[in-house]
Copies of this chain bind each other. A is one copy, B any other.
Amino acid sequence: MDLTYIQSEEIRKMIRNKQFNKFTSGVAIDYTQCNLVILKKRLAYDFLLFCQRNPKPCPIIDVTEIGSSKPTLSAIDADIRTDLPGYRIYKYGELTEKTDDISDYWEDDMVAFLLGCSNTFEKSLINNNIPIRNIEMGTMAPAYKSNIPTVKAGVFEGPMVVGMRPIPKKDIVRTIQITSRFPSTHGSPIHIGSPDEIGIKDINKPDYGDPVHIKDGEIPVFWGCGITPQAVANNTKPPIMITHEPGKMFITDILDESLSIL
């Protein structure tokens, strides 16, 4: 079954019914996919402010009402507890479980934050014939803890995690234009060209995801990465935090193109 152009509601239903549990890249490609961070109400204000202050790594798409698992503004009839193919449970900063249903973990003072994801701008780049190595290889984009500080908010602080994609020199200008149009899915690059300047010692040893080869004539381009909010939240060692399993995103009803600013 080809899921490339499946409707968002349909694929969420399949996920909910345990008929799909794979990576969501390339699935329902017209729709915006999101990173998920669930925290308790006590941390919600600081986290929301952190995201507001760091929109490149943490672009907010939707926030549920306190205690509600329904992201009503971004997806009809969705339930954040069952509609992702995979979740991670962190307790006091430690990964304690991977699961495909978090209903048993949900509490009535939890808030779910849905944050924009690079799938949106990667698709736009591909539509412009700009190659994306990690998609060609079917792997996760390499991501690195940089030396770029995020802007602190309350208890949340720490370095920005950045994702890297090698881009042909001739496509650099167009790449900046395209990704600038999508500020709510990480927006324009954070850095171009010199990994060492942003604290990356070995480009072949990413802290997250998989390494990719940088070909002759290509330049490494770095974007703020959706792993940042998880890494920063985990620094505070909250009693509980729930996230999506990397690569297994929440699929909204929002059309990617509708997020374009121009």
Contacts and interface: CB of A to CB of B under 8 A. Distances in A.
A4 interface: no
Contacts of A126: none
B262 A180 contact: yes
A120 to B, nearest CB: 15
Interface string A13-53: 00000000000000000000000000000001100110011
A48 B262 CA distance: 25
Q: Specify how many copies of this chain sit in the oligomer.
A: 2
A258 B48 CA distance: 23
Interface in A204-256: none
A260 B41 CA distance: 34
A49 B73 contact: no
A60 interface: yes
A109 to B, nearest CB: 12
Interface residues of A, number: 20
The interface centre, meaning the residue of A48, A53, A60 with most chain B CB atoms within 10 A of its CB, is A48
A139 B65 CA distance: 40
A157 to B, nearest CB: 12
A128 interface: no
Contact of A52 (B63, B66, B154): B63
A66 B46 CA distance: 10
A262 B177 contact: yes
Interface in A175-198: 177, 180-181, 183, 187
Nearest to A62: B53
Given A177-B262, A183-B183, A262-B180, A73 B52 contact: no
Given A53-B63, A53-B73, A177-B262, 20 more contacts: A44-B45, A45-B45, A45-B48, A48-B48, A48-B49, A49-B63, A52-B52, A52-B60, A52-B63, A65-B154, A66-B154, A180-B261, A180-B262, A181-B262, A183-B183, A183-B261, A187-B261, A261-B261, A261-B262, A262-B262
5 contacts: A45-B45, A49-B63, A73-B151, A183-B183, A262-B262
